[in-house]
A and B are shown apart, each in its own frame.
Chain A
Amino acid sequence: EVQLLESGGGLVKPGGSLRLSCAASGFAFNSHTMAWVRQAPGKGLEWVSSISSGSSYIYYRDSVKGRFTISRDNAKRLVYLQMDSVRGEDTAVYYCARESILIRNFDSWGQGTLVTVSS
């Protein structure tokens, strides 16, 4: 069974930093692109960042470029999202998601971790 378990969310002050982690199990982790997708309270889904299976290709949405860093450790089956210089608009539930092979959709999701940016 595919499982994705996020951790690391919490309350952070504007301008602060936080690192989210996603532990994966139940599938060939080093064969899949992984992504972070967020959802602000009461809002829709917003793709944040993706990292290819071997970390060769990394993408970010414009609003987080230069502030967030995605990385992965295939040996430990972990994906990370380092969030620096956070802003109020970064407040959201952050989901770790697995991309299907060959089709850029998200076929498995974690339960999400809440990040609240507030002073």
Chain B
Amino acid sequence: DIQMTQSPSSLSASIGDRVTMTCRASQSISTHLNWYRQKPGKAPELLIHSASTLQSGVASRFSGSGSGTEFTLTISSVQLEDFAIYFCQESYSTPPITFGQGTRLDI
């Protein structure tokens, strides 16, 4: 099974900051990588698919990059609603489908 590791596990930022977080896969997954944001008490929402494609309706301050085993999610200017937990998910293999353990973004 593919293992997904996110870093850091948590980070602090202020509104307007630029933040970057990382997701690493245990083997190459090409660009089969998705990012989600989960606000407190809510269901996750898809932000980016295929490593760098913004999901329809998602704010342009979110961007993704990477291929192979290393991927990044960048928020260009953090807004209040972005203080949440971010998960990556690989979509390379047939199930099991694996998520990273999450990165918590705090104020």
Name A's B-contacting residues (CB within 8 A): 35, 44-47, 50, 59-62, 95, 100, 103-107, 109-112
Contact = CB atoms under 8 A, between A and B. Distances in A.
A95 B96 contact: no
Interface stretch (B38-46, B64-72, B76-84): B38-46
B73 to A, nearest CB: 14
A106 B48 CA distance: 11
Contacts of A106: 34, 36, 44, 46, 89
The 8 closest A-B pairs by CB, nearest first: A59-B95, A104-B91, A109-B43, A47-B97, A105-B34, A45-B99, A44-B101, A44-B102
B49 interface: yes
A34 B36 CA distance: 17
Interface of B: 32, 34, 36, 38, 42-46, 49-50, 55, 87, 89, 91, 94-102
B94 A44 contact: no
A107 B46 CA distance: 6
Contacts of A35: 97
Contacts of A46: 99
A107 B34 CA distance: 10
B43 A44 contact: no
Contacts of A44: 87, 99-102
Nearest to B87: A45
Contacts of A100: 49
Contact of A105 (B43, B89, B98): B89
A59 B97 CA distance: 10
Contacts of B96: 47, 59, 61-62
Given A45-B38, A45-B87, 13 more contacts: A44-B101, A45-B89, A47-B95, A47-B98, A61-B95, A62-B96, A104-B32, A105-B49, A106-B46, A107-B46, A109-B45, A110-B43, A111-B43
